[in-house]
Amino acid sequence: MGEYYAESIIPMIEAKYDSFTSTEREIADFFIHNSEMVDFSARAVAARLYVSKASLSRFAQKCGYRGYREFIYRYEESFVKKKTAETGHTRTVMSIYQDFLNAAYNLMDGAQIARVAKYLNKAEQVYVCGKGSSGLSASEMESRFMRIGINIDSIQDSDRMRMQSVFLNNRNLVIGISVSGNAQDVLYLLKEAHGRGATTVLMTAKSRESFDEYCDEVLLLPSMGHLEQGNVISPQFPILLMIDILYLYIYESDKNVKEGLHTDTLWALHKNKTMEGLDER
């Protein structure tokens, strides 16, 4: 996989962007959009951005590094000079998708995904919820995962999210989907679920410490906000990508059983269509 995707710390900077101060955002913008290998010493960057060396150090620590020296070592190590813009609509879209997939690769935590897959297999009942395009992805997740034996229900309605929170317990898994991290009904359900002993997982493009208070796992999705022409990509894409990865983990965990269940559901659908055809005669 590494031969196709380059290591980069930019996706994590993007995920933490909302937690930065205004000065730290200026620093983040520089590293996110920089396309040239220049002098990245603390002295040079501080002078270029009109910020203090202490601000650079605090920024690096918020990104998860001990200091600016460690941060810049990782940045230079993963630096890839950006190519000039591709011409033609097809190449543009393909290039954006490649950038997006590269960001997803750098955010993926295999051990974490394996844990969430185990939660899905173990839970007596799974609820996945979201609003708008996230809700459509939740519905897609329900449709796919129920075919491999997961007892899963999707919720898109705000009132139902709040009512469902009353009936949750420690045998349930609740997965909330909010790319922005601001869907209040989804966050409410996760908070209530956590308080009632349910396992909770949030899929989001935002990394906030507050999520850790009521989420057992936060699955980070790539952010489209800093991608050039990222608005041409469907907002469902990062969610569906994560769903596909989780699906494969679960499918491979007990392939013979899951394959049999999937085949049985296909047969049930085919049989139903055959019966409908006979009824119409």
Domain layout of the chain by residue ranges: 10-77, 110-266
The yes-or-no verdict on residue 85 having pLDDT over 90 is no
The string of pLDDT tens digits covering residues 264-275 is 777 776 666 655
What mean pLDDT do residues 174-195 have? 96
The yes-or-no verdict on residue 185 having pLDDT over 80 is yes
Which of residues 79 and 206 earns the better pLDDT score? 206
The string of pLDDT tens digits covering residues 111-166 is 999 999 999 999 999 999 999 999 999 999 999 999 999 999 999 999 999 999 99
The reported pLDDT for the residue numbered 215 is 97
Mean model confidence pLDDT for the chain:
87
Kindly report the number of other CB atoms within 10 A of residue 40's CB atom.
19
What mean pLDDT do residues 209-213 have? 95
Q: Using 50, 70 and 90 to split pLDDT, how confident is the model at 227?
A: low
The yes-or-no verdict on residue 26 having pLDDT over 80 is yes
Q: Residue 246 CA to chain centroid, in angstroms?
A: 11
Q: Assign domain 110-266 to its CATH superfamily.
A: Glucose-6-phosphate isomerase like protein; domain 1 (3.40.50.10490)
Q: Using 50, 70 and 90 to split pLDDT, how confident is the model at 7?
A: confident
Give the containing element (helix H, strand E) for 261: helix 255-279
The reported pLDDT for the residue numbered 1 is 42
Residues forming a β-bridge with 174: 127, 200
How much of the chain exceeds pLDDT 90, in percent?
A: 65
The reported pLDDT for the residue numbered 105 is 87
Q: Which positions ≥6 away from 198 have C-beta within 8 Å?
A: 168, 169, 170, 171, 172, 173, 174
Q: 225: closest CA among 216, 214, 233? A: 233
CATH of 10-77, one of 3.40.190.10, 1.20.120.450, 3.30.2320.50, 1.10.10.10: 1.10.10.10
Give the containing element (helix H, strand E) for 257: helix 255-279
Q: Using 50, 70 and 90 to split pLDDT, how confident is the model at 2?
A: very low
The yes-or-no verdict on residue 232 having pLDDT over 80 is no
The yes-or-no verdict on residue 238 having pLDDT over 60 is yes
Please list the helix, strand and coil fractions of the chain in percent, rounded to the nearest 5, in that order: 60, 10, 30
Pair 153, 127: CB distance under 8 Å? yes
pTM over 0.85, yes/no: no
Q: 154: closest CA among 174, 169, 178, 170? A: 174
Give the span between the Cα atoms of 221 and 137, in whole angstroms. Answer: 13
The reported pLDDT for the residue numbered 94 is 77
The reported pLDDT for the residue numbered 102 is 83
